[in-house]
Amino acid sequence: MATLCKNCGHTLIFDPISQKMECEACGSSFLPEEIEAESKQYRQDEKIESMEEIYGQKDADFIDCYVYTCSQCGGEIIINGTEASTNCIYCGKPNVVFSRIARQKAPEVILPFSISKEKALELVRNRVNKGLFIPKEIKNFTVDSVRGIYIPYWIINASYTDSVVIQGTVKRGKSSTTRYYGRAGKLNLHNIPFDASTTLSDESSQRLEPFDLKGLKDFDEDYLAGFYSNISDVKYGELRRNAFKRAKEYFDEEAMNDVKGASSKKIVSSLPSLSVDNKMSYAMLPAWFITFDYKGKHNTILVNGDTGKIVCGLPWNKALFYTMLVILSILLTVAFFFVFKFTFPYIFSSRHSSSNNDNGKLIIGLIAGTVALFVTGVHKIRKVVKNINLTQDKDIFNFTKKRQE
């Protein structure tokens, strides 16, 4: 159902800038907690009918879809199995499926959008325009859709303990030895959000962090007005596995960093244990999903609806990058050569007994530096490619494209 203005009867929409429910018709504004829709109590038990119940047969294009009636125009609203709020495709009015929230565990808290649609687009375009290797076609991209979606999260506290054995290589001149290091400790996770939607990539949602959880408010359906949202569909076992995985990553990183003086380090044994606090909070956190097409591929940029943090990896001009990398390597090699030549002229002097030796060492050092620079560039490329794969991930695109406009 839609929340209506008590002054003129038109639909109210939550505005991220004013943090109030705004009426576009008469200009009235209200705090969400001040509004109580009279029809809410009558509609919260309204049944959502499946496509099969209405049309008598299953349709391959509407698997796990349900039909709800718009409270404004009476049109059919088709939602998937986890949507809790959407917009009517006929009148464009926001609708919150109260039966979803009433019959299933309702969120306890919500972090309202504080970044508007216009601000999200501005942040993305500013970020894209700064990209040296991003093609002009992308810098001038045409937005296919911009959707503000509340993502369900579980905010948990957990305690992780582990004792690990780290194998490392220690160099002594031209030789090297293998040594083993033991590290043990306890890691406490406090107020860590975990994506509670199985249809959204955990890696993408994790990159949206951090959220400023100090801004959490008691859940009120009116914050959903004008936005899309999903309910939690993740099971406890999967939530626990995700918590374990993240805690282990944090612990392993700290343990590895604590081992000094060794290279080629790796963990060869581990005895982990995780204890999750039962007092978990079910929350809805905001994100903007901005989609566009480039060379036949769908790209989805995520913007944290609270902090404005941008999550994306965009196609880039590989030829330009490699050309500049080679040129930079050559220029730095030449620059280092002349710096050494004028700083340590005796090395290049023919009177120096070991000049040939030193020259050879210098050239080898310059070549090694050039190779190191090139390797760094390749490492950067791999990271960029990984980010691009996330931006073009089909699951993220499917998560947004099914929303009605």
pLDDT mean over 2-6: 79
- The token duo for 245 is 């995985």
Q: For residue 61, what pLDDT is reported?
A: 40
Q: CB within 8 A of 74, min separation 6: which ones?
A: none
Predicted confidence (pLDDT) per residue in 86-117, tens digit? 766 655 666 666 555 555 567 899 999 999 99
Other beta carbons within 10 Å of 245: 12
Helix axes 318-343, 355-391, angle to 10 degrees: 150
Alpha helix (H) ranges present in 84-177?
A: 98-103, 117-129, 136-139
Which of residues 53 and 199 earns the better pLDDT score?
199
Predicted confidence (pLDDT) per residue in 261-292, tens digit? 888 899 999 999 999 998 899 999 999 999 88
pLDDT mean over 215-220: 91
Rounded-to-integer distance, Cα 305 and Cα 212, Å: 11
Q: For residue 261, what pLDDT is reported?
A: 84
From the list 313, 154, 362, 182, the residue with the least C-alpha distance to 241 is: 154
pLDDT at residue 374 greater than cutoff 60:
no
Predicted confidence (pLDDT) per residue in 167-210, tens digit? 999 988 778 899 999 999 999 999 999 999 888 878 888 889 99
- What letters, b where the CB count within 10 A reaches 16 and e where it falls short, cover 340-358? beeeeeebeeeeeeeeeeb
pLDDT at residue 27 greater than cutoff 80:
yes
pLDDT mean over 131-138: 73
Domains of the chain, by residue range, sit at: 12-107, 117-316+391-401
Choose the weakest-confidence range: 161-175, 190-204, 210-224, 311-325. Answer: 311-325
CA atoms 363, 369, 372, 377: torsion sign:
negative
Q: Which long-range contacts (CB under 8 A, 24 or more apart) does 207-212 make?
A: 207/302, 207/311, 207/390, 208/285, 208/287, 208/302, 208/304, 208/309, 208/311, 209/304, 210/307, 211/111, 211/285, 211/304, 211/306, 211/307, 212/111, 212/306, 212/307
Choose the weakest-confidence range: 49-58, 120-129, 130-139, 344-353. Answer: 49-58
pTM of the model: 0.73
pLDDT at residue 54 greater than cutoff 70:
no
pLDDT at residue 53 greater than cutoff 50:
no
Tell me which range, 1-10, 74-83, 205-214, is most confidently predicted by mean pLDDT: 205-214
Using a pLDDT cut of 70, give the percent of the chain over it: 61
Q: For residue 351, what pLDDT is reported?
A: 53
From the list 259, 267, 253, the residue with the least C-alpha distance to 170 is: 259
Q: Give the N- to C-terminal CA distance of the chain in Å, as an integer.
A: 16
Q: For residue 33, what pLDDT is reported?
A: 76
Q: What mean pLDDT, rounded, does the chain reach?
A: 76
From the list 166, 336, 341, the residue with the least C-alpha distance to 265 is: 166
Q: For residue 300, what pLDDT is reported?
A: 87
| pLDDT tier for residue 39 given thresholds of 50, 70 and 90 | very low
Cα–chain-centroid distance for residue 12?
A: 29
DSSP letters of 340-352? HHHHSGGGG-TTS
